[in-house]
Chains A and B, each alone.
Chain A
């Protein structure tokens, strides 16, 4: 049994948790108290295939390419929340796009693999709470081969 999607999300959480100075790294938690900040949360996100337009006679259990779009949220409260978020964003992008296990062993982005990881972009929000609050939502597109026979 091999569930590449789950392997990707589990490794993403490990990569995110390695970002310096985070107080918490969690998956799909939607309720974060302030004493866990700075926090990063990995949301599983959606996935898609191009198979809707596939009119071939390809058997349904043949491998197909899937693009999943997990979202990673980083939240912080601090006087200098802007530069804090910038630093955390830099570490996030660098670690996700350069992690060897994620890229080469799970997604298989190497020379002979069909997988890819792309950074799509991010959005930011700020507001006042006990101190200045900032949040960043970053999206990645991760393409991998889904092999129904291995599920």
Chain B
């Protein structure tokens, strides 16, 4: 059986991954992990107008999260800092691997941590 973590994910994260700090909601504990910045352009229609923004996101390896004591229940509302910005995990989607979802990736769907109100 091909080990996708060793042959695919680890080399990719080693090349294009960046350092990140994961803090689960309501805890003081921090975990240093590696993520791939997946912030994408995003636009939504408002009547005839198109409002342009970004859809912030980041990929992480589930085995790395697990080895840092981060369970799936810790994902939502966690604070994730990387590339000079601070985000809050608003949701996530699992990206399974041929070795099973527990050895795959998660794509964190993020929102700006500080309010943009006003």
Q: Which residue of B lies closest to A26 (CB)?
A: B49
**In the complex, chain B residues 49-75 whose Cβ is within 8 Å of any chain A Cβ:** 49-56
In the complex, are the beta carbons of B53 and A34 less than 8 A apart?
yes
CB-CB under 8 A from A131, the residues of chain B are 111-112, 115-116
In the complex, are the beta carbons of B48 and A43 less than 8 A apart?
yes
Q: Which residue of B lies closest to A134 (CB)?
A: B46
B90 within 8 A of A: yes
Asked whether A75 and B49 contact (CB < 8 A) given A128-B90, A129-B44, the answer is yes
Asked whether A135 and B52 contact (CB < 8 A) given A78-B116, A128-B111, the answer is no
Nearest Cβ distance between residue A110 and chain B, in whole angstroms?
Answer: 31
Q: How many A-B residue pairs have CB under 8 A?
A: 86
CB-CB under 8 A from A73, the residues of chain B are 46-49
CB-CB under 8 A from B90, the residues of chain A are 128
In the complex, are the beta carbons of A79 and B115 less than 8 A apart?
yes
Partner of A130, one of B50, B53, B117: B53
CB-CB under 8 A from B48, the residues of chain A are 30, 43, 71, 73
In the complex, are the beta carbons of B51 and A133 less than 8 A apart?
yes
A residues near B (Cβ < 8 Å) are 21, 29-34, 37, 39, 41, 43, 71, 73, 75, 77-80, 84, 125, 127-133, 135, 137
Given contacts A71-B47, A73-B48, A79-B117, 6 further A-B contacts (CB under 8 A): A31-B52, A73-B49, A79-B115, A130-B55, A135-B44, A135-B45
- Would you list the 9 A-B pairs with minimal beta carbon distance, nearest first? A135-B46, A129-B53, A34-B53, A78-B117, A137-B47, A73-B47, A75-B46, A79-B115, A127-B44
